[in-house]
Amino acid sequence: MANMKIKASARGGVVKCKVMMKHDMLTYDQAKAKGKEANFITHITAKAGGKVVLDMSTSQFLSKNPLIKFDFSTEGLKKGDKLEMTWTDLSGKTVTEDKEIKGLK
């Protein structure tokens, strides 16, 4: 299931990443209005080459289907390395997807 759209490309020593996660991100208020259970992404982790490159705890106020962009240094990465994204939501669901980082030498 394609849950995430991941784009990662290296240029000039920096890997630029763009990740779109498919998630409803229902806040407590919205959930109440809809009569559903609140559910939102609470933690996002990104790994590349065995190293954690992004680690964020998030609240309900990220937008629906949140898009995040971040950079990290290419140090220690080699051709064919992948960017591995993991998110966890309030219900405890965890999704991991990876994508090869483009432009690595």
Partner 1 sequence: MERRKFLGLGLTAAAVLPAVLNAKDFRAEKPDTWTAKKVQPAIEALYGKITPVEEGVTVQAPKVASNGGSVPVKIKSDIPAKTVAVFQDANPEATVAVFDLSEGGIIDYSIQIKMKASGTITAIVEGKDGKFYLGKQSLEVALGGCEG
Element (H, E) at 100: strand 94-100
Shortest Cβ distance from residue 82 to partner 1 (Å)?
A: 16
Residue (71 or 100) nearer to partner 1, CB: 71
Site residues (vs partner 1, CB under 8 A):
14, 25, 27-30, 33-34, 42-43, 45, 51-64, 66-73, 75, 86, 88, 91-94
**Nearest distance from residue 81's CB to partner 1, in Å?**
15
At 7, list the tokens.
């784009």
* C-beta separation of 100 from 82 below 8 A: yes
Nearer to partner 1, 3 or 91 (CB): 91
Return the number of other C-beta atoms located less than 10 Å from residue 72's C-beta: 19
